[in-house]
A and B are shown apart, each in its own frame.
Chain A
Amino acid sequence: MGNNLIGRHTEQHTQPSIQDTGVGKSSIVCRFVQDHFDHNISPTIGASFMTKTVPCGNELHKFLIWDTAGQERFHSLAPMYYRGSAAAVIVYDITKQDSFHTLKKWVKELKEHGPENIVMAIAGNKCDLSDIREVTVKDAREYAESISAIVVETSAKNAINVEELFQGISRQIPPLNSHENGNTGTIKLAKQTSQTSRRCC
């Protein structure tokens, strides 16, 4: 039942909840980063922080994905992780109703303390196990609409919708100056993220 935040220049923060390893946020990130893995790009030292550059229109968006520990005891550290981020992915487990509740708590926290204009995406993971699902698609969709977030059901295991999740985020992040190329684009992004984060404290 985790929750992930993603930024774009980009920081993603994953914030799973009490049953830390349950929802598979790390799996989603790994799946996203490692599929079509570009060996020219230096790998990061571990899975807590990963990067991936994806084309979006004329731009390249570089995702810097910050994984956030989801256990309750680390909850208080979360603000440090979502500072400056442009987007957040919050992950729940469709087979666990609890995780959906926790997700709502995270959304609330982000709304209150997170960066202004942060793009939120809700990912219902483990959609390959839909026969034992506890959270309906309808519930998730309605909730997402109420907070104007992206919602998608994913399966990190079977690589379903993971790419789409991040592309959706990419599209939602406001475009940069169109003539920028990829390189300077990421720098721009850095600036932008800093702006968006101003309000968050």
Chain B
Amino acid sequence: MRKTGTSRESQDRSGKESEASGGAIPEEGWPLTMDVPCAQRRVSFFKLIDTLASEIGELKQEMVETDLILKSESGSTGDPSLVQDMENIFLEKKDFKANTRDSGYDSFSPKLSVLDKLLQTHPVWLQLSLSDEEAVNILQCQPPGSFLVRKAAKLQKKFLSLRLPNESGSCLKEFAIKESSYTFSLEGSGISFADLFRLIAFYCISRDVLPFTLKLPHSISVARTEGELEDIAQLGLNFWTSPANQITTPASTAPPACHRPPSPGGALPKPHLINGLSSLRTRTPSELECGPGKGALCFINPLFLQVHSQDGGGNGAERRRQGRAGWTRPPPPPRPPPPVLSSPRLLGVFKKPGLSMPETTVGAESPERKPVPVPPPRLKKQASVSSSPVDWDGRDQSALSAGAGASCGSESGQPNRCGGGRQQQRLSDMSISTSSSDSLELERRVPLFCYEADSSFEDYEGDPESDPESMPPPLKPSKKRSSSFVLPRVVKAQLLKVSSVFTSLMTPERRMVRRVADMARDKRTYFGCLVQDYISFLLENKECHVSSTDMLQTIRQFMTQVKNYLAQSSELDPPIESLIPEDQIDMVLEKAMHKCILKPLKGHIEAMLKEFHATDGSWKQLRENLQLVRQRTPRELGVCAPTPDTLDLEKIKARFLTMQKTYSPDKKVLLLLRVCKLIYTCMEHNSGRMYGADDFLPVLTYVMAQCDMLELDIEIEYMMELLDPLLLHGEGGYYLTSAYGALSLIKNFQEEQAARLLSSEARHTLRQWHKRRTTNRTVPSVDDFQNYLRVALQEAESGCTGKTLLVRPYTTTEDVCQICAEKFKVQDPENYGLFLFIDETWQQLTEDTYPQKIKAELHSRPQPQVFHFVYRRIRSDHPGIIFIHEDGDSSSDYLP
């Protein structure tokens, strides 16, 4: 009790009384026995529940009841579906359940949560490019509560279109969706969510600022299996007019009242239909439903509601809000319909994809209409494993319950929240997704964790411990949050401990990065093919780049292109815009590119860079010059400020070594900034003097020479060429430039001594770099990066060897055969041909076909198929081109 005393005392007077009545607690305070604190805790827990309950009112009491149900679950025979529904509202519950339940009940009959359903069926309701007119057409035939999410072409803003009851005058009302840097919320509401799906899921259950809750189409809400949902999702926008939507609508629910307003006061018996103003009162959880037969969905995060009522200032505000958002006020006139844009998603269904090489350059088209460059294959649902529960709620759910207590107890300063296990869970569950003042603390931490979690859990990352005073400033000064608070070191360590909790919760960003990375490994996706083909091409064709810059530039360009592709393609499912606020998308995708392209290539790139520098002799020169420069005194190098001592140099060196281990250019730059910060600290030496470039650059040169690391050359080149061009303007860009400059000075030290100037050649190189990096921001075309074709050579003796070839869209099979003959060093090319192996059959491609087009066509098929291009001997005794092949072992097919 003592430990948590301050946190609980205030609400816990009865707890004290019980202490007294128990008589075990003397005035000294500290309990004499161990039992007593337990009793206290229990008492205080109940007291806490009481307190909270009275705060939240009857709603909260509902919560306690459900809580009890949950607790007694193992032995209870209570309505299991009720329990399940409650648990399933937010997917996070699932893991938790999995831990506590051993019946395996769920695995046998998985029930789908609202969130699940929304995720799976987003092609139906998430219609970002739908015009006003189309939206009206669709929704007017739907029951009230039906909704679509769209994007305003002009404002680049998403909004929710909600079907109103007919008596309300206008059939649609629109609610703008606000995107702040990490969250989505409805305008006017204090509740925000990590992504669009959670937002919609919430409003399916609670109306908040809406006149009533959202209704999923009937067939979706009654769907029991993923298969059903999948079928619905396949229909996309057509769902609304399809029989799937109409037929299954039972007569008892709202008839699609297209033209005929329902009889006034007509007894509309359907429980989920809103009939008139009476529905405007606040609903208790038990009244909230998600469709017939599903029972009450009462497990809304209670704090949402609590927070909300606080925000609104209680019931009065609630009523005001109703007045504001309800239809007591005439809805706004319908907007004039903008020019009709057809949905890219729909186009994707009908367009013969892939045959023409995709046009990516948006050019004259309005930016918000994103063309689908390559209609990607419609993935079977298992491909969306990534969006299935497991991935969705993160992996660390178990850590959640363990860590949540620590987090709220030790730092959050919200002790009264730490009631018991369940309470904690809920708290941590939601604090991330609310933006209310209550959870502000936690929310503000997000960026920090974001970074630390990234580094400490995923990739190797620097040494946060040795340099507490210099948390590096963020690369993007615009992100105020991460920089505006400094945590004491101890707290930081604690935070780090529980950060695993947060990784699972807070960053849609991380989830997105992971999803993209998963997709990049999945060759059934178009994107995965691009990335994998490119990577194998690079690995196999070492000779294809003439210089280190050439190589790095191509890689950078590839990343930019794939990034663009990904931002525009519909292959990311659900679309990235529904998970990541618009202004973050590029940054998130950039991170994902690093992970899926640079990570696998890092070793190769380094080896290649070393090779290039060894070959052209630049390393030899650098080594000699480093030696030379190290013998100079700081003074001789133009240093006029204090320099780092041996100890500091060791620290710096350690940081450079760390830098070598990470693949992300961003993180490397961050480490460079830490080094520079340390140098400044040494220079200032408590003098308070500010040093500009005149002083800093010489010291940096001195330091880099003292570190005596040839590899720094590679590191800097890596960063210079691969860093996101946008970052080159910021602080990272500046110090990177300085480091590059310092290294150039060292490399040209001898000449400099002779001429006091860099050689004209070096100057030229600098200019070239500058030019490249500042001009390559034009929108790239997809063409360049799809030009890879993986071809296997099959030989009787040696089996298969694969090579990735550069094959342009209009390269014919004849040309490809020629390339193959060269690459594979085939002596008798006339006896070889290019085959497509698909569906267990071999087809020889005729000379005038285009392998890339065939590949594109295959990729665009709805059912992904495994296929290979194989360069192999033609069976002369077998004029029929197609023959059966078994089991991947084709030796029997060969000529004797």
A and B: partners? yes
> Does A173 sit at the interface, judged by CB under 8 A?
no
Task: Render B769-806 as a binary contact track against A, CB cut-off 8 A, 1 for contact.
Answer: 11101110100000000000000000000000000000
How far does the Cβ of B658 sit from chain A's closest Cβ, in whole Å? 18
On whether A68 and B693 interact (CB within 8 A), knowing A40-B480, A80-B766, A198-B775, the answer reads: yes
Please state if A83 and B676 are interface contacts (CB–CB under 8 Å): no
Nearest-CB residue, chain A, relative to B476? A42
B730–A73 touching, CB < 8 Å: no
A11 to B731 Cα, complex, angstroms: 10
For A13, give the chain B residue with the smallest CB separation: B693
A172 within 8 A of B: no
Using CB atoms and an 8 Å cutoff, list the residues of chain A in contact with chain B: 2, 9, 11, 14, 16, 20-21, 25-26, 29-30, 40-49, 51, 64, 66-77, 79-81, 83-84, 113, 183-184, 186, 190-191, 193-194, 197-198, 200-201
Contact A73 B756, beta carbon cutoff 8 Å: yes
Structural contact, B677 and A45, CB atoms closer than 8 A: yes
Interface centre among B483, B758, B766, B774, by most A CB within 10 Å?
B774
Give chain B interface residues in 690-708, CB to chain A under 8 Å. 690-698
A47: which of B484, B691, B769, B770 is its contact (CB, 8 Å)?
B691
Contact A74 B774 (CB under 8 A): no
Residues of A with C-beta under 8 A to B744: 76-77
Name the one of A16, A77, A183, A193 contacting B766, with C-beta atoms under 8 angstroms.
Answer: A77
**A40 engages B484 (CB within 8 Å):** yes
Q: Is B831 an interface residue (CB 8 A)?
A: no
Q: With contacts A74-B697, A80-B741 known, is A67 near B774, CB below 8 A? A: no
A49 near B478: Cβ-Cβ < 8 Å: no
Cross-chain contact A201 with B691 (CB below 8 angstroms) = no
Decide: B737 and A79 in contact? CB cutoff 8 A.
no
Contacts A190-B726, A191-B777; A45 near B472 (Cβ below 8 A): yes
Does B677 contact A46, Cβ atoms closer than 8 Å? yes
Chain B residue, CB-CB nearest to A183: B478
CA distance A20 to B583 in the complex (A): 41
* Minimum CB distance partner of B773 in chain A: A83
A14–B691 Cα distance when bound, in Å, is 13
Q: Is the CB of A79 within 8 A of B477?
A: no
Q: Closest Cβ of chain A: how far from B155's Cβ, in Å? A: 10
Q: Which of B474, B638, B777 contacts A71 (CB 8 A)?
A: B638
| A75 contact set on B, CB distance < 8 A | 757
Q: Across the interface, do B690 and A71 meet the contact criterion of CB distance under 8 Å?
A: no
Flag B828-860 by CB within 8 Å of A: 1 or 0 each: 000000000000000000000000000000000
> Which B759-773 residues have C-beta < 8 A from chain A?
762-763, 766-771, 773
A64 / chain B contacts, CB cutoff of 8 Å: 729-730, 734
Question: How near does chain A come to B862, taking the closest CB pair, in angstroms?
Answer: 39
Chain B 459-491 near chain A by CB (<8 Å), digits 1 or 0: 000000000001011100110100110000000
Task: Answer whether A80 and B692 are a contact pair too, CB < 8 Å, given A41-B480, A190-B726.
Answer: no
Confirm or deny: B396 has a beta carbon within 8 angstroms of a beta carbon on chain A. no
Taking A26-B690, A76-B762, A84-B774 as contacts, is the C-beta distance between A46 and B729 under 8 angstroms? no
Q: How far is the CA of A20 from the CA of B775 in the complex (A)?
A: 32
Q: A26-B691, A48-B696, A80-B766 are in contact. Are A42 and B477 (CB under 8 A)?
A: yes
B676 contacts across to A, CB distance below 8 A:
45-46
Q: Which chain A residues border B771 with CB–CB below 8 Å?
A: 198, 200-201
| A151–B181 CA distance with the chains assembled, in angstroms | 40
Inter-chain CA distance A72–B752, complex, in Å, is: 11
A73 to B629, CA, bound (A): 14
- Offer 7 A-B interface pairs, CB within 8 angstroms, sorted by A: A42-B483, A46-B690, A76-B762, A79-B763, A190-B726, A191-B777, A194-B775
| Interfacial chain A residues near B737, Cβ < 8 Å | 66, 80-81
Whether A79 pairs with B766 at a CB distance below 8 angstroms is yes
Chain B, Cβ-Cβ closest to A82: B770
Closest approach, in angstroms, between the C-beta of A193 and any C-beta of chain B? 7
**How far is B124's CA from A52's CA once the two chains are assembled, in angstroms?**
46
- Given A73-B638, A190-B726, A193-B729, A45 contacting B692 (CB threshold 8 A): no
Interface residue tally for chain B (C-beta within 8 Å): 55
Asked whether, in the complex, the Cβ of A26 is within 8 Å of the Cβ of B694, the reply is yes
Q: A49-B734, A73-B756 are in contact. Are A201 and B768 (CB under 8 A)?
A: yes
Tell me the minimal C-beta distance from B75 to chain A in angstroms: 55
Question: Could you say which residues of chain A place their CB within 8 Å of the CB of B769?
Answer: 80
Q: Which residues of B contact A26 (CB under 8 A)?
A: 690-694
Chain B hits for A45, CB < 8 A: 470, 472-473, 673, 676-677, 680, 731, 735
Question: In the complex where A44-B731, A191-B777 touch, is A16 in contact with B758 (Cβ < 8 A)?
Answer: no
Q: Which chain A positions have C-beta within 8 A of B734?
A: 48-49, 64, 66
Tell me, yes or no, whether B738 is within 8 Å of chain A by CB: yes
Contacts of A21 in B (CB 8 A): 640, 694-695
Q: Is B774 a contact of A198 with CB atoms below 8 Å?
A: yes
Are B697's CB and A69's CB within 8 A?
Answer: yes
Among B192-236, those with CB < 8 Å from A are none
Q: Is B740 an interface residue (CB 8 A)?
A: yes
Complex Cα spacing A70 to B693, Å: 8
Which residue on A lies nearest to B472, using beta carbons? A45
B59 on the A face (CB < 8 A): no
Q: Is the CB of B757 within 8 A of A67?
A: no
Looking across the interface, which residue of chain A has its beta carbon closest to that of B691? Answer: A47
Considering the chains assembled together, what is the distance between the CA atoms of A64 and B740 in angstroms? 19
Shortest C-beta distance, B748 to chain A (Å), equals 9
Q: How far is the CB of B599 from chain A (nearest CB, A)?
A: 27
Are A69 and B480 also in contact (CB < 8 A) when A194-B774, A198-B775 are? no
Q: B729 touching A67 by the CB < 8 A rule?
A: no
Binary CB contact string for chain B from 709 to 735 against chain A (1 if under 8 A, 0 otherwise): 000000000000000011011110011
CB distance from B686 to the nearest CB of A (A): 15
Beyond the given A30-B690, A73-B756, could you list 11 further A-B residue pairs with CB under 8 A, ordered by the A residue number? A44-B731, A45-B735, A48-B692, A49-B735, A70-B693, A73-B757, A74-B697, A77-B697, A80-B769, A84-B728, A190-B729
| Complex CA–CA separation, A74 to B777 (angstroms) | 28
Contacts A42-B473, A71-B638, A73-B756 hold; do A83 and B770 have CB atoms under 8 A apart? yes
For A2, list chain B residues within 8 Å (CB): 694
Nearest residue (CB) in B for A23 is B694
Q: CB of B288 within 8 A of chain A?
A: no
Chain A min CB distance to B440 (Å): 16
Residues on B with beta carbons closer than 8 Å to the beta carbon of A193: 729
Q: Is B148 among interface residues, defined by CB-CB distance under 8 A?
A: no
Residues of A close to B757: CB separation below 8 A: 72-73, 75-76
Question: Would you give the shortest CB distance from A2 to chain B, in whole angstroms?
Answer: 8
B580 at the interface (CB under 8 A from A): no
The answer to whether B807 has its CB under 8 Å from any CB of chain A is no
C-alpha gap A25/B480 in the complex (Å): 28
Contacts of B640 in A (CB 8 A): 21
Q: How far is the CB of B344 from chain A (nearest CB, A)?
A: 24
B775 and A14 within 8 A (CB): no
Chain A min CB distance to B779 (Å): 12
Smallest CB gap from A26: residue in B: B692
> Within 8 Å of chain A (Cβ to Cβ): is B589?
no
Q: How far is the CB of B770 from chain A (nearest CB, A)?
A: 4
> For the complex, what is the distance from the CA of A131 to the CA of B479, rounded to whole Å?
46
* Among candidates A46, A68, A73, residue contacting B680 with C-beta atoms closer than 8 Å: A46
Q: Are A43 and B473 in contact, with the CB atoms below 8 A? A: yes
- B745 in the interface (beta carbon within 8 A): yes
Measured in the bound complex, the distance between the Cα atoms of B476 and A42 in whole Å is 9
Closest A-B pairs by Cβ, 6 of them: A26-B692, A42-B483, A76-B758, A67-B693, A77-B741, A201-B771
Which residue of chain B is the closest to A29 with respect to CB atoms?
B692
A84 touching B729 by the CB < 8 A rule? yes
Contacts of A47 in B (CB 8 A): 690-692, 696
